[in-house]
Amino acid sequence: MSDATDMGIAVPAPAEGLWRIGILAASAWAVSAAVTLGWPDLYRWESTAWLGWGEAAVAALLLAAALGGGRPPPFWRLPARLRRAGPWLVALGLVFALWEAAVAKFGWLPRPFFAPPQALLDAYIDDGDRLLECILHSGRLLLSGISVGFAAGFAVGVAIGWSQLAAYWIHPVLRLIGPVPATAWLPITLFVFPTTFEAGVFLIALSSGVPVAVLTWSGVASVNSSYYDIARTLGASNRFLVLKVAVPAAMPHVFVGAFMGLTYAFVVLIVAEMLGVKAGLGWYLQWSQGWAAYGNMYAALLIMAVLCSGMIALLFRARDRLLAWQKGLLRW
């Protein structure tokens, strides 16, 4: 496969071949390992050696994959996803090298506001138990909030899109609370709910449920009326029209709303975990800033980014499975 395919350009090319951009990626990570291990640190970092040898291992694996890509199948077949990630692997290797040089080796970026890569590794090694506890606490709070928000938003959206009576009473309320940031309800939640956990669940549910409700309502309202006419001609009941016609046709809109709601939920999670709790990634970020442990803060931010990306990937997997009948029509 040619390098043009690696860059996302569709051109005729053999199914397999030497992965040239993989050699560039291996070289970039080798440079990063050389910078990490070859230059002394301005300050002592415990995990510098671990980081450098890890980068060298990545470079060796990429080199092996690049050279092995020239072997004919079935003896060797380079994963297509790895080929597509080639330019990103080159960029990441160079970013790590520049990051290491700018912070740990030459001090171009001031401490303690900027931390080198090994500072994040130190945080994962030294504070791993606390981070794991925070991940479990945040996961419980986040899953509880988005479960309530998605379910309530879906029900409200279907009701508004299907029933004129529900639209008359609920639509104005949705337009009133929808534009208000979920964090603005913080004083009320502290008064209404008996625990900070329940208050956090409400804030996350509100932030994730509103976009689901709006997009579900839009999807149900935009269903072609001829679908209903055909179903009624065949003797379909209102229950059948809602469950078998309106809801399936609106599902692409529902998943767009779920995607938006999930991203909003992660934003609100930080605020929700600053309400007097003793664990959680939001609490950990606040604690790290209080002690000027910015390496720990960046480590927590990286975990949050990975968790958010992973949940979005799972959402896309669910969308592809549930909407397999619309394969090729969805572009997000």
Q: Read off the CATH number of the domain in which 227 is found.
A: 1.10.3720.10
Residue 5: per-residue pLDDT: 46
Residue 325: per-residue pLDDT: 65
Phi and psi dihedrals of 77, rounded to 5?
-140, 110
Same domain as 91, residue 18: yes
Of the three residues 110, 138, 168, the one that is the final residue of a domain is 110
Residue 91: per-residue pLDDT: 95
DSSP class of residue 246 equals: I
Structure tokens at 126: 């030294």
Residue 52: per-residue pLDDT: 93
Q: Is 281 inside any structural domain?
A: yes
Structure tokens at 12: 């005729």
Residue 98: per-residue pLDDT: 95
pTM of the model: 0.79
Same domain as 170, residue 99: no
Domain that holds residue 41: 3-110
Structure tokens at 257: 């709303």
Q: Is 115 inside any structural domain?
A: no
Residue 4: per-residue pLDDT: 47
Same domain as 232, residue 191: yes
Q: Distances from the Cα of 21 to the Cαs of 5, 88, 134, 246, 331, in angstroms?
A: 10, 10, 39, 48, 28
Q: Is 94 inside any structural domain?
A: yes
Q: Is 12 inside any structural domain?
A: yes
25: closest CA among 117, 93, 76, 81? Answer: 93
Same domain as 311, residue 193: yes
Of the three residues 55, 81, 110, the one that is the final residue of a domain is 110
Same domain as 133, residue 105: no
Q: Is 75 inside any structural domain?
A: yes
Residue 143: per-residue pLDDT: 93
Q: Is 332 inside any structural domain?
A: no
Residue 323: per-residue pLDDT: 79
Omega of the bond prior to 74 within 30 degrees of 0, cis? yes
Distance in angstroms (rounded) separating the CA atoms of residues 211 and 154: 9
Of the three residues 79, 110, 141, the one that is the final residue of a domain is 110
Same domain as 178, residue 44: no
Same domain as 144, residue 106: no
DSSP-H helix ranges across 85-241: 86-100, 117-126, 128-162, 164-177, 186-192, 196-221, 225-233, 238-240
Are 144 and 269 in contact by the 8 Å Cβ rule? The answer is no
Same domain as 278, residue 170: yes
Q: Is 11 inside any structural domain?
A: yes
Same domain as 140, residue 79: no
Cα of 47 vs its chain's centroid, Å? 27
Same domain as 213, residue 287: yes
Q: Distances from the Cα of 82 to the Cαs of 30, 72, 87, 97, 310, in angstroms?
A: 18, 17, 10, 21, 18
Same domain as 164, residue 66: no
Enumerate residues 6+ apart whose C-beta is below 8 A from 174.
156, 160, 210, 213, 214
Cα of 165 vs its chain's centroid, Å? 37
Omega of the bond prior to 87 within 30 degrees of 0, cis? no
Distance in angstroms (rounded) separating the CA atoms of residues 206 and 10: 43
Residue 330: per-residue pLDDT: 54
Same domain as 282, residue 209: yes
Q: What is 61-82 written as a DSSP string? A: HHHHHHHHTTSPTTT----HHH
Q: Is 331 inside any structural domain?
A: no
- Is the CA virtual torsion 211, 301, 61, 8 positive or negative? positive
**Count of domains observed in the chain:** 2
**Mean pLDDT of successive 10-residue segments in the chain (332 residues)?**
47 56 92 92 86 94 80 59 86 94 89 88 90 92 93 93 87 85 82 85 91 91 81 82 84 90 88 76 86 89 91 88 68 53
